[in-house]
């Protein structure tokens, strides 16, 4: 993809969001935070059997996608879903899955 940009901004947003959610650890973290009333101060490596540096990497990706943020609560960090951006992400996903499919009958 280097000759020209044929994609809409919405399509790029969807693909970026999908990329952020393309690993089970990251899906888990988002769901887990939602279950914890959106924030969590504990150690996620107690729950997830991955190295802390690996978790940090995944959290960084979620941060860069704007889905979560970390608030300092020394010596810990309180991770929270980013409500506003999460709403935007939800709207993007909704409009994507609501695309109308009126398949012809010969199409399984």
d(CA 15, CA 102): 24
Closer residue to DNA (CB): 78 or 91:
78
4 lies in the binding site for its own copies (CB under 8 A) = yes
Partner in contact with 105, chosen from its own copies, DNA, none, beta carbon below 5 to 8 Å by kind: none
Max CA pair span of the chain: 61
Instruction: Using alpha carbons only, give the angle 91, 94, 96 rounded to the nearest 5 degrees.
Output: 110
**The binder of its own copies chosen from 65, 77, 88, 93 (CB under 8 A):** 93
Closer residue to DNA (CB): 15 or 87:
15
Give the dihedral of Cα atoms 38, 24, 85, 93; nearest 10 deg. Answer: -120
77 lies in the binding site for DNA (CB under 7 A) = yes
Partner in contact with 9, chosen from its own copies, DNA, none, beta carbon below 5 to 8 Å by kind: none
d(CA 36, CA 28): 12
The two three-digit tokens of residue 49, written as one number: 């059997």
Tell the smallest beta-carbon distance from residue 89 to its own copies (Å): 8
> Using CB under 7 A as the criterion, which residues of the chain lie in contact with DNA when the complex forms?
1-3, 19, 22-23, 25, 41, 43, 45, 50-61, 70, 72, 74-77
């Amino acid at each position: 993809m280097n000759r020209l940009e044929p994609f809409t901004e919405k399509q790029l947003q969807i693909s970026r969001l999908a990329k952020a959610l393309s690993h089970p650890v990251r899906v888990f973290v988002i769901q887990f935070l939602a279950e914890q009333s959106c924030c969590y101060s504990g150690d996620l490596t107690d729950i997830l059997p991955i190295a802390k540096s690996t978790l940090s990497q995944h959290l960084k990706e979620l941060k860069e996608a704007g889905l979560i943020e970390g608030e300092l609560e020394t010596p810990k960090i309180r991770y929270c879903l980013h409500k506003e951006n999460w709403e935007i992400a939800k709207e993007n996903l909704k409009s994507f899955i609501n695309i109308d499919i009126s398949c012809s009958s010969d199409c399984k």
